Amino acid sequence: MSQILLYFQKFQTNIQKGIWPYVATLAHILLGTLLVYFSPRSTIAFLILVTSFFSLYYLKADNRFKLIAGITLALIIVPILGVRNIFYLEIIFQISVFAALALGLNIIVGFAGLLVLGYVAFYAVGAYLWGFFGSQQYYVMPFAPGTQPADLPFLLPGDAFYLFLMLAIIAAALTGILIGLPVMRLRGDYLAIVTLGFGEVIRVLANNLDKPLNLTNGPQGITPIQRPSLPESVVNGFNSIFSGIVGHPVDQASLYNVMFYILALVIIIIIVFVTKNLEDAKIGRAWAAIREDETAAVAMGIPIVKMKLLAFAIGASFAGAMGALVAASRTFVSPESFSFMQSIGVLSMVILGGQGSIPGVILGAATVTILNLQILQGFSLYLSQLRQSDAVIPIINFAWRNLSSQLDPAKYQRLLFGLILILMMIFRPAGLIPAERRKRKMASDTVEAKE
């Protein structure tokens, strides 16, 4: 056993030397690409492709090489493989959405140390903003849900979406400040419960603001919501270049998925850029000081109310942008998408990856989303196949056919989130990829302990 471990350590050091990182990264990307290309239904192939992002991140290579390889992977390989099997593009889009949400929550929880349990409220603000202005809802207002005439016009053209993406950022940031202001004086655990309350308030409002004026269309949700335009020429252009590689001509609907994926990617890159710069700037250090010891931070002259509100506003604005994007890509918003469970899902991504760690949080989002959409659903499928077969569990003599049809692992997300939260807190509270600052702190802590 120790022999294997030793060998593994040797492998780890060797692969970081000379040209080996380049070879390993390219091999990984190529292997993933080919596997997904030739067997688009295999989960393992997909996992190999997705993990190639992480070998790109981990292996020591020239930054220019990493950039080029990353861009090729994200902007060329993934869209082409994505339109070949649209299901994977959907998963990658969801990973991007949750990565953006997790990065936003990471600013509040990971950097500033404020536990917020109603984070999806900000996401809902962005989604409902474009949901209201990007649909016929303005003209539906006088009607109760379901009674409006059929041929109502749209309030705004679909291309106003880009403007509203900006407005959603502002609106969510303002909501963040509004929610933050009254609760700033509260201690950590009270803050958690109060933000949970705010999250529920937003959901209940979305559910019930269909009267006296029909603003949200109640539990049915708003649909259809417009998308920004995607001209026919782009579709034809894409097809003329790539349809040979994809294997079949791509229709507009699939290309829309690519477009939203790229938009999400752009937003994530902006978020990562902003977050990275904030982390080591004065603001980031002020947040760290507040997180570690609030009293000391006040004593050092850090304006804690301002800094906490800033964390709320910035964290919220990311969610607002993603909300508007998701509303447009789904063409549908409903209160159900903004439940407490979603907030906890995003929290478990941050906790799993590592609070305050940007690559960690993205890894957390990817892991949880894949577990949710691939592993749990795969397990569901497997169980339903077993149910249809004649298989019997040998010793206890239980026929799979008698297994309750209510038992659908795909619906056991809470179990997943709960396990992640408990196990991470007990065994690895700093997360899978601990933040640099925390690593440094832990190292100094152990030195102190030894002395």
> For the range 299-306, what are the long-range contacts, defined as Cβ-Cβ under 8 Å and sequence gap of 24 or more?
305/184
CB 181 within 8 A of CB 306: no
- Concatenate the DSSP letters of all residues of 301-340 into one string: T--HHHHHHHHHHHHHHHHHHHHHHHHHHHT-B-GGGG-H
Of residues 271, 292, 242, the one with CA closest to residue 76: 242
Footprint of another protein on 285-304 (CB under 8 A): 293-295
**Options 15, 115, 298, 375; binder of another protein; rule CB under 8 A:** 115
- Give the integer Cα–Cα distance in Å for 325 and 329: 6
Q: Phi, psi (5° rounding) for residue 100?
A: -65, -45
Of 20-28, 31-39, 337-345, 359-367, which segment contacts another protein by CB under 8 A?
A: 337-345
Q: Does 415 bind another protein (CB under 8 A)?
A: yes
**Options 419, 428, 440, 446; binder of another protein; rule CB under 8 A:** 419
| Residues that contact another protein, how many (by CB under 8 A) | 51
**Options 47, 178, 193, 230; binder of another protein; rule CB under 8 A:** 193
Q: Does 201 bind another protein (CB under 8 A)?
A: yes
Residue with smaller CB distance to another protein, 269 or 419? 419
Residue with smaller CB distance to another protein, 13 or 295? 295
Q: At what angle do helices 120-133 and 161-183 cross, to 10 degrees?
A: 140
Q: Does 183 bind another protein (CB under 8 A)?
A: yes
Place of tokens 């809470």: 414
Of residues 336, 337, 339, 332, the one with CA closest to residue 222: 332
- Give the integer Cα–Cα distance in Å for 240 and 180: 51
Of 25-33, 36-44, 153-161, 342-350, which segment contacts another protein by CB under 8 A?
A: 342-350
Q: Does 160 bind another protein (CB under 8 A)?
A: no
Q: Assign residue 301 a region: left if phi > 0, alpha if psi is -120 to 50, beta otherwise?
A: left
Minimum CB distance to another protein, residue 130 (Å)? 24
Of 98-106, 190-198, 367-375, 436-444, which segment contacts another protein by CB under 8 A?
A: 190-198
Cis peptide, bond prior to residue 145, ω within 30 of zero? no
Q: Does 194 bind another protein (CB under 8 A)?
A: yes
- Give the integer Cα–Cα distance in Å for 109 and 343: 12
Residue with smaller CB distance to another protein, 192 or 250? 192
Minimum CB distance to another protein, residue 401 (Å)? 13
- Give the integer Cα–Cα distance in Å for 353 and 361: 5
Of 86-94, 148-156, 224-232, 409-417, which segment contacts another protein by CB under 8 A?
A: 409-417
Q: Which residues pair with 222 in a beta bridge?
A: 333
Place of tokens 């809802």: 137
Minimum CB distance to another protein, residue 315 (Å)? 16
Q: Does 6 bind another protein (CB under 8 A)?
A: no
Q: At what angle do helices 252-280 and 282-292 cross, to 10 degrees?
A: 80
**Options 1, 5, 395, 426; binder of another protein; rule CB under 8 A:** 426
Q: Which two tokens stand for residue 383?
A: 């169980």
Residue with smaller CB distance to another protein, 49 or 368? 368
Residue with smaller CB distance to another protein, 28 or 438? 438
Q: Does 24 bind another protein (CB under 8 A)?
A: no
Q: Which two tokens stand for residue 77?
A: 């390989």
**Pairing mode of beta strands 398-399, 392-393:** antiparallel
Residue with smaller CB distance to another protein, 234 or 415? 415
3-state secondary structure of 180: helix
Q: Does 405 bind another protein (CB under 8 A)?
A: yes
Footprint of another protein on 204-233 (CB under 8 A): 204-205, 207-208, 211-212
Q: Does 393 bind another protein (CB under 8 A)?
A: no
Residues of this chain that interact with another protein (CB under 8 A) are 113, 115, 117, 182-183, 185-190, 192-194, 196-198, 200-201, 204-205, 207-208, 211-212, 293-295, 340-341, 344, 347-348, 351, 403-407, 412, 414-415, 417-422, 425-426, 429
